[in-house]
Structure 1
Amino acid sequence: MEVLDNYLGLSDDYNYTYDFLPTHEEVVFQHKPTCLKESMCVSLIVITAVIFLLGFCGNALVIWISVFRMKRTVNTTWYVSLAISDFVFCAFLPFSITYMAMEDWIFGRFMCKFTSSVMFINMFSSIFLLVVISMDRCVSVMFPVWAQNQRTVKKASLVVVLAWLLGIIMSLPSMIFRDVGSHLGKTVCFNNYTSLTSQKFVAGSRFIAGFIVPLIIIIVCYSIIICRLRINRMTKSSKPFKVMSALIVAFFICWMPYHVFVLLELNHQNYDYKTLTTGLQLGTSLAAANSFLNPVLYVFMGNDFKHKFKSCVLSRMENAMGEEGRTISRYLSRSSSVDGRASTHI
């Protein structure tokens, strides 16, 4: 079974395996899912389910804390946007989990295109936002007075909208080339490229625009920041950068294997099929894991998020315990009064 074409809508799905026209025999062929009998497929389902639960709940918590418990600033605007991107990504993972388990796409052509597009919107919007944040940090260090006067929440929100629009534009190939077809009695959701040239163009543009160029810009920005901090000996000012640095490192570690194996897939005839399949499976799993790593980094590395998280959790526990205590005391007072009345009657 080709698990690859079932996973997340991110991979190029070995398009060459679908260069055929469905025959009458394939239409009447009775498909029987075998995923739950294979350890690799079951592992992928479990991993994806864990990513969904952690990412969905974690990013929802980050959004709630940022919006309702923290003062709205330029920094919180960046982080809320990243959390929303990851939250939307995780919200669509159940479609992929169902597809992997059933080995049959039951959601129709539109959702085949739409779910894949959402995955890439998440990838591009996240990396574009990380680039914007890196440039924002660089400008703040190089021109602190100007940045203090010009950095506003309204302008940051406009930049976020532009980053999302650019991410949507870059994800259009998924809406164009993603398609459904019948294969051995099952409906598959795959990339129906018209030619190898179009496949190379899509893979190359994603690699350049979603990885190489952002990496270069971020490295340049952080090199300037580090040099500036060393020159001015601004040791205290370097603390706010640790969360951002961790987010950037996590993003590139999580997405690099995916891009590498997608590029290797373009010359699939030169590589072992099993190696490419396993590599893309692990690469897409690691890429999806980035969506739940971000809220973890917020909580454990960001002092503001850590403080707000602890205060929120503790206040909820105190309220719950206080409510329970008040309920018990009311119960005991009622019981004592009943016992008093009962002793009087006796």
Structure 2
Amino acid sequence: MNQTLNSSRTAEPALSHFRGGAAHTVYLVVSSLAMFTCLCGMAGNGMVIWLLGFRMRRTPFYIYILNLAAADLLFLFCMASMLSLETQPLANAVNKVHELMKRLKYFGYTAGLSLLTAISTQRCLSVLFPIWFKCHRPQHLSAWVCTLLWVLCLLMNVVTSSFCSKFLLFNEKWCFRMDVAQASLIMGVLTPLMTLSSLTLFVRVRRSSQQWRRQPTRLFVVTLTSVLVFLVCSLPLGIYWFLLFWLQLPPKMMFLGFGLSRLSSSVSSSANPVIYFLVGSRRSHRLQGSLGAVLQRALREEPELGSEQMPTMATNEMGA
């Protein structure tokens, strides 16, 4: 057990080992793309937070999207900070700041995954049990679920950081145990639950669309697209964390995989605002109305009566 998932000895030291080689050049290009993606993603998620937090009346589903945007923004900020701090001559002077950003990055990643799983699961329940969901759903369920997920993710990452950070109570044995628990949660619970609920949602809505000859709601498209983007782009980072220290991979492959997983996860956390605005402006040749109106169309649960119909502000009170 030479290294552990969350320990301070990750792939960063390989920067100096491969410096000047082709692998280092590829890594720098990938890191530059990741930095650009992070900056664009922070702007997009910041816009979503501004619109949902200050410009629109919050509905149950809006609360989920607001919290997901906050988790993505945290992850992207930490990723961009780490990429900046790894450049010379800063790397040797700010080890504690780099370590803090890495811990917060793990926190943002697990929080985003948990929230996306909750969104997918609740959307699936709203389709499978529509009467219960509309009539008996607790009024503040979304807020309580989001709060609980933030607290659980924070506690998990604080405990993991305590054992895995060289600046705290580093213990390789306990760090490895926390790695196994965290990887099991990501790969064995959250990802399968999110995938299963999304597949169930897709099959049920697709069958209803064919039976009643109506188009799926934009919210359905947003949910499934966000899950698909996560599985394609962000899950490789979780897989990388899980497999990195179990498989004896060549150092160069591990180094490049580290950079590519960073880029793909940055794309995933930056993609949701793009999805919202693309879906909200679907069937239009341009963005109709303000950005708030476009975002509201994307998060609308009721089926549209016409392609040109404009939604009213916060019409879906139970749109979770």
TM over 0.5, yes or no?
A: yes
Tell me if 1:298 matches 2:284: no
- Distance in 1 of aligned mates of 2:58 and 2:290: 17
Tell me if 1:51 matches 2:37: yes
1:104 equivalent in structure 2: 91
Larger radius of gyration: 1
- Residue deviations 1:41-98 (CA, integer Å, cap 9, x gap): 4314412320221011110111122233433111111111111111122233342122
1:65 equivalent in structure 2: 51
- Distance in 1 of aligned mates of 2:72 and 2:150: 13
Tell me if 1:286 matches 2:264: yes
1:259 equivalent in structure 2: 238
- Distance in 1 of aligned mates of 2:105 and 2:190: 18
1:177 equivalent in structure 2: 164
- Distance in 2 of aligned mates of 1:164 and 1:314: 26
1:156 equivalent in structure 2: 142
Please identify which structure carries the higher helix content.
Answer: 1
Paired residues in the alignment total: 280
- Distance in 1 of aligned mates of 2:215 and 2:255: 45
Aligned identity (percent) is 19
Give 1:292 shift.
Answer: 0.8
Q: Which of 164, 168, 181 is residue 205 of structure 1 equivalent to? A: 181
Q: When the two structures are superposed, what TM-score results if normalisation uses the length of structure 2?
A: 0.73
Give 1:158 shift.
Answer: 1.4
Unpaired segments ≥5 residues, structure 2: 294-320
Amino acid at match of 2:262: T
Contact 1:85 1:122 in 2 (8 A): yes
Q: What is the root-mean-square deviation in Å for CA atoms of aligned residues? A: 3.7
Q: Which of 89, 103, 114 is residue 128 of structure 1 equivalent to? A: 114
1:339 equivalent in structure 2: none
- Residue deviations 1:162-203 (CA, integer Å, cap 9, x gap): 1111111222213441236xxxxxxxxxx99633x4454333
Give 1:235 shift.
Answer: 5.4
Matches within 5 A, 1:1-346: 14=9, 38-102=24-88, 104-107=91-94, 109=96, 111-151=97-137, 154-172=140-158, 173-179=160-166, 194-195=171-172, 197-229=173-205, 232=208, 233=211, 236=214, 238-239=216-217, 240-267=219-246, 270-302=248-280, 310-312=288-290
- Residue deviations 1:195-245 (CA, integer Å, cap 9, x gap): 3x4454333323221233122212332344345446653554732211111
Contact 1:177 1:192 in 2 (8 A): yes
Give 1:259 shift.
Answer: 3.0
- Distance in 2 of aligned mates of 1:35 and 1:174: 33
- Distance in 2 of aligned mates of 1:158 and 1:199: 30
Amino acid at match of 1:133: I
Contact 1:59 1:83 in 2 (8 A): yes
Amino acid at match of 1:159: V
Q: When the two structures are superposed, what TM-score results if normalisation uses the length of structure 1?
A: 0.68
Contact 1:229 1:235 in 2 (8 A): no
Contact 1:129 1:163 in 2 (8 A): yes
Unpaired segments ≥5 residues, structure 1: 19-30, 181-190, 316-346
Contact 1:69 1:308 in 2 (8 A): no
Amino acid at match of 1:130: L
Amino acid at match of 2:61: N
1:26 equivalent in structure 2: none
Q: Which has the higher contact order (CA 8 A, sep 6+)?
A: 2
- Distance in 2 of aligned mates of 1:193 and 1:235: 59
- Distance in 1 of aligned mates of 2:69 and 2:39: 14
Give 1:129 shift.
Answer: 1.0
